[in-house]
Amino acid sequence: MDGIQNPVARTAINQFEKQNPEISVNVLYLDDERQFIPIRTSKFCNQCKNHVILLMLTDKDKFHYTTVLHLSTLVGERTKHDHKTHVCQYCLHRFAKEDQLNEHVLICSQHQAQQVLYPKPGKNIVKFHNYHYQFEVPFAIYADFESFLQKNDDDSDTHVPSGFCVVTTSLFEDYDYKLHCYTGDNVMEKFFAYMQSEKRRIRSILS
């Protein structure tokens, strides 16, 4: 605990893990609606000799950690499953079988801790209101980008565009479905340059 103040702030847990390489720490939080939220998931989750799950309880500006011994029991009320469930520590989703959890974790562990929120009753109906968007326009352009992940110094990822494809559609048969694809350097500059050229071309046609 050298150099770490008590009570231990969540931001100091990284330092704690560096000084205690055999311990990894996850932190859950109980919000105002009595929902458990993962607010810190160790990047060494389940890789260390000792893995600890803490629940942060707060009272105004005070907070306290308590140990979670059985994560399945803690979040068990979320499911109708009567037996032990296998819980993802990144999103708290529950699975009936361990192999289902293992398949899920391969993807979920690539992201930060997250919470799944469902709409409340009365606000869970989606209706279409933007009827003015139903009017056909003479031209429409659809674009799709491809990218790769680049690691940052803080261990986060940045999506770097590697290419794009643009298709221009039109009510006029002679100008319908004009396709343009690009892969290479300066992707965004090339994309905006192409969009400007399409704008000039379409304006010329409409005039």
Please name which of 190, 177, 181 lies closest in space to residue 139, comparing C-alpha atoms: 177
pTM, two decimals, is 0.53
User: pLDDT tens for residues 135-179?
Assistant: 889 999 999 999 999 988 888 889 999 999 999 999 999 999 999
**Around 159, how many Cα atoms within 13 Å sit in the side-chain half-sphere?**
6
Phi, psi of 191 (to 5 degrees): -65, -50
| DSSP 3-state of 197 | helix
User: pLDDT tens for residues 34-75?
Assistant: 788 888 888 887 778 899 999 998 888 888 899 999 888 888
70-77 long-range contacts (CB < 8 A, ≥24 apart) are 74/28, 74/36, 75/36
